[in-house]
Amino acid sequence: MDFELTADQREIQGLARELAEAEIVPNAAAWDRDHRFPDELYPKLAELGLMGVCIPEEYGGAGADFLSYILVLEELSRADAGVGVTVAVHTSATTLPILTFGTEEQRSRFVPPLARGEQLGAFALTESSSGSDAASLRSTAESRDNGWTLTGSKQWITNGSRAGTFILFARTDPETAGARGISCFVLDASHVVVTREEEKLGLNSSTTSDLLLERVDVDRDRLLHEEGRGFQVAMATLDGGRIGIAAQALGIAQAAYDVARTYAQEREQFGRPIADFQAIQWKLADMATEIDAARLLTYRAAWLKQRGRPHTEEGAKAKLFASEMARRQTGEAIQILGGYGYTKEFPVERYYRDAKITEIYEGTSEIQRLVIARSILGMQVREEPSISTQGTHS
């Protein structure tokens, strides 16, 4: 086992950290307070290749590996988790599925603008009545001579009001219940209507929208993968996407730990820094240990995906542990800061709010436990029950 990052991985990690410190950290609190999507930031990320880190160069990407992309998400989320989730959905939930399941014409047509950051991507699966049970979605795609007519609505779509390209799921066989009747389509912004912007507990620098499709006509070449096999696209996408959410949670927790450790070394009570007290030392020790454990789980899952090996169980474990760890340890950071931690003078209350959603979207913690249990018990997964997408992500 080799736990060292390669020179290229360290360079990409450093590049993302440098940009985050210069462009994101000074603005993150204001973006959160104003609920503002930082449109001006993403061209800067694109200039450095960070909007297509793990996309091959021939399709406009930086050509790095999947772990390098995970390192970028960790660094961006350490600065602002809203930025992290915007890039995560754009890359793992939109660009990579087209690259994996698309025809060569679709890859050449849709991937380069996404990889170069000329457009943002969005993943539209969740509906008001289908969250954890995503296979019960009601949006339809009616076949016609030269294409499809799509009708329906989607809820909690990250990047929905900014995206130029959508991966969207609809039922092409209304007579078949569950997953077998679902297909996947690549749509443009002109095909959807944004009907609502969600106000959220956290991730206030990201946009989360409801969408409407009103008998939208698209050509046959907008079908991604095979008709009736869209659910396979969704599940494969979520397998990799969960690793990105684990990286997001990891970045949030690392940021909270950094603030708490510095504060503990500087804040004095009873004539000495509070870091001298065992109660605070143990909190910091637990934080550091759990962050390291989450990082190892996350990097292992990314390593497996990069090599084309099965990673469903490992990705679920990484997301489950990292997300619950981030929620616990951002709470501990507030505790270490005491009253200051509960105010907006310090960023730990923002980290706490941002961390919670990582236990919900891309599959709730309860669903992750189900995925892991099925894997370790060798249980065959039926197609009908979905892996949860409940949340603001998809």
Indicate the burial class of 258 (C-beta count within 10 angstroms; 0-12, 13-18, 19 or more): middle
Under DSSP, is residue 121 helix (H, G, I), strand (E, B) or coil? Answer: strand
Per-residue tokens: 368: 């992750």
Q: DSSP string spanning 2-21?
A: --PPPHHHHHHHHHHHHHII
- Report the phi/psi class of residue 98: left, alpha or beta, with left for phi > 0 and alpha for psi in -120 to 50: alpha
Rg of the chain's alpha carbons, rounded to an integer? 21
Mark whether 314 is an active-site residue.
Answer: no
Helix, strand, or coil (residue 57):
helix
The rounded distance, in Å, linking the Cα atoms of 356 and 202 is 8
Go through the chain and tell me how many residues it has: 394
The pairing of beta strand 120-124 with beta strand 163-171: parallel
Between the alpha carbon of residue 294 and those of residues 265, 321, 371, the distances in Å are: 25, 6, 18
Give dist(CA 195, CA 192) in Å, integer.
9
φ/ψ (deg, to 5) at 70: -65, -40
CA 236 to chain centre: 14
C-alpha count within 13 angstroms, C-beta hemisphere, residue 210: 12
Q: Are strands 193-197 and 208-219 parallel, antiparallel or unpaired?
A: antiparallel
In the beta sheet, which residues pair with residue 186?
A: 167
Cα–Cα distances (Å) from 293 to 68, 289, 297, 333, in that order, read 19, 6, 6, 18
Which of 268, 362, 383, 384 is an active site residue?
362
For the annotated catalytic residues, the residue numbers are 362
